[in-house]
Each structure stands twice: as structure tokens, then as C-alpha cells.
Amino acid sequence: MSERRSREDRIAADLESIAAQLREGEATLYGYDVELASDGRVQRGGVACAGGWFAFEFDERGRR
């Protein structure tokens, strides 16, 4: 297995763990949406979880 694949597998496992904690109420989601005119939306936030803090940004601008 390549080093890149191992890193991707580790991140996937971390995200699965965070998702499970959110579903079980063991993590807290902090987030907000930002409307950007007609270009779309950006969602930003973070999750306080057992592993610390996970920050995210989903940029939907330009998606059609």
C-alpha cells in the first residue's frame, strides 16, 4: 500500500469516528452557512470531538 493510500485511509477512519460521535451525541457541531450572492454557498464550522477539534469548509460556489 502506498504512503498516500495509508494517509487517505487514516483520514477516512478519523472522519468515520467523528461521524459516529456526532450521531451518538458525543461530539458537538459548530457551524454556519455563508451566502455568497448568486455564486452559491460556503458552509464553515467545526466539530468538538474526542480527538480534539475538526474544522471544515464546504465550498459550493460554481457547482452546477
21-63 tens-digit pLDDT: 999 999 999 987 666 666 667 888 899 999 899 998 888 776 6
Q: Is 64 among the domain residues?
A: no
Distances (CA, A) of 37 to 44, 52, 54, 57, 62: 16, 33, 27, 18, 12
16 assigned to some structural domain? yes
Q: What would the pLDDT profile of 4-17 be if each residue is shown by its tens digit?
A: 789 999 999 999 99
Q: Is residue 37 part of a domain?
A: yes
Whether 32 and 44 have beta carbons less than 8 Å apart is answered as yes
The per-residue pLDDT for 1 is: 53
The verdict on residue 21 lying in a domain is yes
Range of the domain at 41: 3-59
> What pLDDT is stored for residue 35 in this prediction?
64
pLDDT at site 62 = 63
Give me the pLDDT at residue 64, please: 55
Tally of structural domains, the chain: 1
